[in-house]
Amino acid sequence: MKLPEPLFAIINPIMRLLLHSPVHALWSDGLMLITFRGRNSGRTFTTPVRYIESDGVVRCFTAAENQWWRNLRGGADVVLRIRGQDRPYRATVLDNDPIQIRKWLEYYLGLFPQDAVYHDIRLNKDKTLVREDLERAAHNAIVVEAVAVNTSERET
C-alpha cells in the first residue's frame, strides 16, 4: 500500500527521531538518514530513506519528481546515519543510466518488495516484479550512491 504523500510530513520527523534514539535498531537495517546541504540555500537537510549496501557502496532510491536528490548532482559530501552511527560519505546521483538503475532497483525491490508501489511497479502473484513496469521505472527512478570518505585522508 502506498502512503499518501502528505503523511510523510508527519512520518519523516518521527523517523528522524527514532533513528537517533536508542531503539533505532528496530529500523536501522533498512532505513538510514541522509544529511546534505542545499545547493542554493546552503541549509542542512536530513531525510530518512530506505537503503541497501553492496560492495562498500550504500544506495538509496527515489523518484525523479522528488526534489532532494538534485542537491547531490555532480557529487556532494553527505553524512549517513546507518545503524546508529553517523559517518561521512561522498554521494553521486545515477539518473541517466537505465541499465544500472534497473539492475539496482531490481536488487533493492527483491529485498523490499513492499516499496515497488513507490516506483509504480506492480508485483506478480509470485511477488516478482512486473517486467514492463520495471523497465519503465528504470527511466524514472533515481539511485543515490554513496561511498565512505576516509577521514584520515580528508585531514591531510
Alpha-carbon distance of 108 to 133, in angstroms, equals 15
- Identify the domain containing residue 65 by its residue range: 5-154
| b/e burial code for range 81-116 (CB count within 10 A of at least 16 → b) | bbeeeeeebebbbbbeebeebbebbbebbeeeeebb
pTM score of the predicted model = 0.88
Query: Over the stretch 52-105, which tens digit does the pLDDT of each residue have?
Result: 999 999 999 998 988 999 999 999 999 999 999 999 999 999 999 999 999 999
Distances from the Cα of 118 to the Cα of 22, 29, 61, 134, 137, angstroms? 29, 19, 10, 12, 10
Exposed / middle / buried, residue 54 (Cβ in 10 Å: 0-12, 13-18, 19+): exposed
How many independent structural domains does the chain possess? 1
Higher pLDDT, 114 or 78: 78
Query: Over the stretch 119-146, which tens digit does the pLDDT of each residue have?
Result: 999 999 998 999 999 999 999 999 999 9
Contact by Cβ (8 Å): 46, 68: no
Alpha-carbon distance of 149 to 153, in angstroms, equals 8
Find the CATH number of the domain harbouring 45: 2.30.110.10
| SS3 assignment, position 52 | strand
Nine-digit cell string for 19: 533513528
Residue 154 has pLDDT above 60, yes or no: no
Closest CA to 141 of 114, 104, 90: 104
Query: Over the stretch 10-69, which tens digit does the pLDDT of each residue have?
Result: 888 888 999 999 889 888 889 999 999 999 999 999 999 999 999 999 999 998 988 999
Alpha-carbon distance of 16 to 24, in angstroms, equals 10
Alpha-carbon distance of 21 to 84, in angstroms, equals 8
